[in-house]
Amino acid sequence: MRDEGAEVADSPAGACKGDIVITMLADDNAVEEIVLGSGGIIKALRENAIHLSMSTITVALSEALTEAHYAVGQHFVAAPVFGRPEAAAAAKLFIVAAGEPEPLDRCEPLFDDLGQKTFVVDQFPPKANLVKLSGNFLVASVIECLGEAVALIRKAGVDPTQFLGILTCSLFAAPCTRPTANSSSRTDFARLGSQCRSDSRTCEECWLQQRRRTSQCRLRASCAITSSPV
């Protein structure tokens, strides 16, 4: 990016010279440290600047960030995304945004550059995070159901690759099901079986538990959402 003219900052605070700063980080801990920690961006952003948070975070943290930015005269816009890394590279993300109208209008050119469609759900930023987490919950449910179906098909002697090909070309022709289906059809349950610690679980169950852990939904921390904007 430097070769294309981007100015590379030596710290998160150093990236806050403009009117909008974007964060897209792994989890709550990372976002909280970068934004609210020592030398965080909330201390470096100017008044009326925007923190555009595109991370998948809990509603509770989104509420805290909304309040923290408001208290120092800044704006907070939540805009988590649906889409795999290749979609991001091709600017084909689906963006779920929430925030006050004026900051959203200022972020619109960025949304147009980063995604193929933006859904504005509310003026209260945490509601965008709730939509994202609810979508992730559905994806995790699909993963579990596919694993169960593949286990049944495999035990009956049906080719799971053919079975999943049928599903993803008919009933479940959706972007989120194809990569999961490909992964589940190639899973080496025999290898996973050597790692099982409980004789009461099948190898498929071990795989499902592993997939659930890697797709953990933060919805349980998001049940106390309030309806009024800060």
Residue 226 included in any domain: no
Residue 221 included in any domain: no
Tell me whether strands 93-98 and 115-122 are parallel, antiparallel or unpaired: parallel
The Cβ-side half-sphere exposure at 25, using a 13 Å CA radius, reads 17
Q: Are 203 and 189 in contact (CB under 8 A)?
A: yes
Q: Which residues contact 205 (CB under 8 A, 6 or more apart)?
A: none
Q: What is the pLDDT of residues 110-126, one digit of tens each?
A: 999 999 999 999 999 99
Same domain, 61 and 12: yes
* Burial class of residue 190 (count of CB atoms within 10 Å of its CB; 0-12, 13-18, 19+): exposed
Note if the pTM is more than 0.85. no
Number of residues written out for the chain? 230
Measured CA to CA, the distance from residue 230 to residue 217 in angstroms comes to 25
Q: Are 88 and 39 in contact (CB under 8 A)?
A: no
Measured CA to CA, the distance from residue 103 to residue 66 in angstroms comes to 13
Is a pLDDT exceeding 60 seen at residue 224? no
Strand partners of residue 23: 53
Q: How many domains does the chain have?
A: 2
Same domain, 112 and 178: no
Same domain, 16 and 115: yes
Same domain, 65 and 173: no
Same domain, 87 and 107: yes
Is position 132 annotated as part of the catalytic site? yes
Same domain, 47 and 147: no
Q: What is the pLDDT confidence band of residue 209, given thresholds at 50, 70 and 90?
A: low
Residue 230 included in any domain: no
Residue 189 included in any domain: yes
Residue 70 included in any domain: yes
- State the residue range of the domain holding 19: 2-124
- Dihedral Cα 132, 12, 17, 77, nearest 10 deg: 10
Q: What is the pLDDT of residues 56-93, one digit of tens each?
A: 999 999 999 999 999 999 999 999 999 988 999 999 99
Q: Choose the catalytic residue: 17, 92, 127, 132.
A: 132
Same domain, 27 and 113: yes
Question: Where does a domain end: 97, 124, 151?
Answer: 124
Domain of 36, CATH number, reads 3.40.50.720
